[in-house]
Amino acid sequence: MSTFKHYNPILKDRMVSCIKSGNAELLLQVLSNLRASDFRTAGYMMANDVLTMCDSSTFWHLFINIVPVNTKAYLGTFLKAAVSLYEKGHLTLCEQILKQHVELSTAIDKQKVVDAFLPHLRSVDEVTCLVNIYYDDEREKAVQLLIKAGTLPCYYVMFNLLKSFETERIAHYARALLMLKNQLAYNMASVLKQYFDIDNIPAVFSLHIEPYQLHRLDKGYETFVKVLTNKSK
């Protein structure tokens, strides 16, 4: 099994210099001149040490100027760093850059970006923004990825998307939630069953929503969460 070094101080210094100046062209030049083993080292350091030094503006500038050059080589590296920066509160979604990126993305690239971000996004606005940019015309795919992410903001966005779906498709996704076998997913399936009045859902739910509570689901995210987590009574 081949191995590679996780750290090269000289190479790190060169990359950090490019990062600090926001010089995407020079960083690409540095990377393109590396041997395969050094390139792997560079990728590891970029994901874990170098790109995580960026502010949000610099990160997105480098992202849009480097990732499309060789998506297979750079997308995963940038996404790992992006999630780390976001979790630390140092990165915000850049709608302008993401819109540019989606125009250059394959279906696989799009899913990688959305899969990476969705489980971590803390607000409904962020989830909505990401879904609208990458899957505005693919609502079925969007729902699938929202279910996979399985967070409260994702479930809320999914709930609102499903309002435009046929009952048969909503039932399909309710059954998909049951397959996840966790309490929040079961509660979400129960919400879909009761709100959309679906009969053919093969499960017994602990979450029972009173008729007056169903109307609360449309009042906003906070109220939706209270009903979903059985804290509205």
Residue-wise pLDDT for 68-116, tens only, equals 999 999 999 999 999 999 999 999 999 999 999 999 999 999 999 999 9
Q: Scan for tokens 């309710």, then name that residue.
A: 174
> pLDDT value at position 204?
84
> pLDDT value at position 194?
94
Query: Using an 8 Å Cβ cutoff, are 142 and 131 in contact?
Result: yes
Q: Scan for tokens 């093969």, then name that residue.
A: 202
> Looking at per-residue confidence, does 2 or 177 come out higher?
177
> pLDDT value at position 153?
98
Q: Report domain extents, the chain.
A: 1-92, 165-233
Distance CA 146, CA 152 (A): 10
Distance CA 174, CA 128 (A): 20
Distance CA 28, CA 63 (A): 11
Structure confidence by residue, pLDDT tens digits, 186-208: 999 999 999 999 988 888 898 98
Note the pTM of the prediction, 2 decimals.
0.94
Residues 125-132 have a mean pLDDT of 98
CA 18 → CA 15, 58, 59, 203, distances in Å?
5, 11, 12, 56
> pLDDT value at position 1?
44
Which stretch of DSSP H or E encloses residue 176? helix 167-178
- Residue 170: exposure state from Cβ atoms within 10 A (0-12, 13-18, ≥19): buried
Distance CA 127, CA 119 (A): 9
> Looking at per-residue confidence, does 113 or 5 come out higher?
113
Q: How many CB atoms lie within 10 A of CB 1?
A: 2
> pLDDT value at position 232?
64
Helix (H, G, I), strand (E, B), or coil: what is residue 229?
Answer: coil
Distance CA 194, CA 170 (A): 11
> pLDDT value at position 94?
98
Q: In the numeric block, which tokens belong to residue 90?
A: 């140092």
Structure confidence by residue, pLDDT tens digits, 36-45: 999 999 999 9
Distance CA 146, CA 9 (A): 40
CA 92 → CA 16, 46, 51, 110, 179, distances in Å?
21, 19, 14, 18, 33
Structure confidence by residue, pLDDT tens digits, 8-32: 999 999 999 999 999 999 999 999 9
CA angle 104, 79, 120 (to 5 degrees): 115
